[in-house]
């Protein structure tokens, strides 16, 4: 299988010039050129030829060394030795290190953690959020990972419920025996899928239900809010106007992978200002328009995405949108499956969170038809 090239080391298609210069800025001569380059980056990640390798970039400054064959072999050998050594604490330390990287990546990339206000909980305290807007509104809270409840609020305090997100991350001994030097990276992806992705999936489900509560044409809050054959300034204007009427300022627009070409048409007439810096682009922030950040999950591996491909969502600022709590970072407890008759070791990873969307009017959803 072809290994993807890291974006910092990749060359533009049919060009001897790299996507990013040594300062981590796009090699672009104009905003129009930068928008085209961003499209090529999105396409490269989609077809698997490019990677932003977020975990590796986050954990070390010397990216070339981290992706060298020698370094990957050394990392696998340490992982192999820890797996085989049942007497030491090295396997537990490996799990803690994965969780440490996972926690930092969640803070950097997670939609829930970047679009909502974090609240602190004391022992014995239930999660709650104080609304900025005192008018009567519909809120959406998570009552379990698979249960979400819209509620009508008249009080300025909204109480929520804690949800346990957990995953058994297992490494089969036959995977170790095969000598896949990228196994550590694969295991980290499994941890992301089991914890980080599920965090954002829960948040996005609440956002879609919130958008459904605001649409008079819906028969179910699970349906989409507004459909359109294309995203245009007029369509976006409708969403902004609706949120202005509800007195919630628009702060962010998040878009699925297949919507970006709509923003490159003549309809927008240069209204989009592309982001040039690698560090920002790697978080999904690709442009600004009308005082909104345009953010996508299209630069993540496919298995880590949470947006539908043709989805566009407007979100208000965190103090209007809502908050979340957690009871500390993701925790890993070493486990094995030998007593179950399966040669495998791993970790039970878990966290406790709550998500409270304080005002359903703070979300507006478009879905592009295709």
In a domain, 74, yes or no: no
pLDDT for position 14: 81
Task: Give residue 365's pLDDT.
Answer: 93
CATH number of the domain to which 124 belongs: 3.90.1690
Confidence band (pLDDT; 50, 70, 90) for 54?
Answer: low
More reliable by pLDDT, 19 or 339: 19
3-class secondary structure, 124: coil
Segment 344-360 shows an average pLDDT of: 95
Question: How much is the pLDDT for 57?
Answer: 45
User: Residue 202: CA atoms inside 13 Å, Cβ hemisphere, count?
Assistant: 29
Q: Could you report the per-residue pLDDT of 131-149, keeping only the tens digit for each?
A: 877 677 889 998 887 778 8
Residue 112 lies in a domain: yes
Query: How far apart are the C-alpha atoms of 263 and 261, rounded to whole Å?
Result: 5
Q: What is the mean pLDDT of residues 98-119?
A: 94
Is the pLDDT at 215 greater than 60? The verdict is no
Structural domain contains residue 25: no
- Specify if 100 maps to a domain: yes
- How far, in Å, CA of 139 to CA of 134, rounded? 12
CA–CA separation, 190 and 193 (whole Å): 5
Within-domain flag for 16: no
Structural domain total, the chain: 1
Quote the percentage of the chain above a pLDDT of 70: 91
Among the residue ranges 11-20, 25-34, 134-143, 282-291, the one predicted with the least confidence is 134-143
Other CB atoms within a 10 A radius of the CB of residue 359 amount to 25
The answer to whether residue 20 sits within a structural domain is: no
Q: Does residue 56 lie in a domain region?
A: no
pLDDT > 50? residue 222:
no
Judge whether 32 lies within some domain. Answer: no
Which range marks the domain in which residue 345 is found?
Answer: 88-368
Least confident of 24-33, 146-155, 195-204, 296-305: 146-155
């Amino acid at each position: 299988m072809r290994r993807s090239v890291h974006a910092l080391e990749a060359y533009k298609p049919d060009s001897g010039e790299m996507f990013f210069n040594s300062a981590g800025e796009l090699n672009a001569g104009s905003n129009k050129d930068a928008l085209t380059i961003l499209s090529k980056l999105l396409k490269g990640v989609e077809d698997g030829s490019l990677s932003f390798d977020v975990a590796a970039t986050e954990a070390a400054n010397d990216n070339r060394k981290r992706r060298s064959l020698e370094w990957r072999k050394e990392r696998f050998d340490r992982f192999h030795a820890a797996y085989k050594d049942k007497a030491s604490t090295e396997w537990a330390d490996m799990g803690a290190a994965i969780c440490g990287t996972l926690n930092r990546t969640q803070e950097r990339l997670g939609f829930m953690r970047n679009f909502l206000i974090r609240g602190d909980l004391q022992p014995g305290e239930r999660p709650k959020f104080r609304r900025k807007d005192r008018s009567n509104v519909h809120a959406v809270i998570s009552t379990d990972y698979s249960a979400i409840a819209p509620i009508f609020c008249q009080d300025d305090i909204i109480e929520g419920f804690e949800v346990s997100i957990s995953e058994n991350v297992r490494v089969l001994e036959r995977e170790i025996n095969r000598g896949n030097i990228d196994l550590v990276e694969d295991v980290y992806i499994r941890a992301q899928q089991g914890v980080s992705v599920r965090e954002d999936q829960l948040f996005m489900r609440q956002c879609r239900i919130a958008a459904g509560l605001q649409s008079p044409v819906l028969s179910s809050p699970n349906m989409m809010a507004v459909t359109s054959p294309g995203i245009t300034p007029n369509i976006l204007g409708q969403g902004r106007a609706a949120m202005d009427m509800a007195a919630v300022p628009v702060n962010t627009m998040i878009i699925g992978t297949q919507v970006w070409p709509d923003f490159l048409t003549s309809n927008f007439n240069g209204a989009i200002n592309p982001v040039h810096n690698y560090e920002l682009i790697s978080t999904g922030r690709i442009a600004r328009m009308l005082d909104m950040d345009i953010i996508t999950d299209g630069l993540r591996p496919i298995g880590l995405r949470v947006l539908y491909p043709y989805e566009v969502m407007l979100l208000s600022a965190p103090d209007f949108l809502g908050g979340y709590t957690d009871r500390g970072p993701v925790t890993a407890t070493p486990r094995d499956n030998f007593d179950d008759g399966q040669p495998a070791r791993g970790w039970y990873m878990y966290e406790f969170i709550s998500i409270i969307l304080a005002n359903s009017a703070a979300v507006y959803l478009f879905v592009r038809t295709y």
